[in-house]
Amino acid sequence: MAVIDTGIVTIYDLHNNGAQLTAHRIDARTFLAHPSGRWSTSPDEKKAGIGDAKGKKSDDDTGEAMRLKAMPFKSLLAMASKAGVPGYKHMSKADLVAALVV
């Protein structure tokens, strides 16, 4: 299974005791370019390069979960019924998507 870079990085707020902020790489560039110098890719020191930020890794994604999340709830119920998911009538949409992806 391939591991891909999601483009999600952690940057640190130097004016707030190094509090972490999880952001998309594009948004992080905007924060890091701010003239206040408040944001960094390291909790200890000022680093403005997004290349220094470590990306988060995720498992291989086929997009199936995204496709299921876009479907109406009733369609998910019907799919869960066909797939024989136990207790599908009492599940939330998120639980149905998780059960159908597996």
Give me the DSSP letters along 7-61: EEEEEEEGGGTTEEEEEEHHHHHHHHT-TT--EESSSSS----GGGSPEEEE---
The ranges assigned to domains in the chain are: 4-58, 64-101
Model confidence pLDDT, tens digit, residues 34-67? 888 888 877 766 655 666 566 666 555 567 888 8
**22 bridge partner residues:** 10
> Using 50, 70 and 90 to split pLDDT, how confident is the model at 3?
low
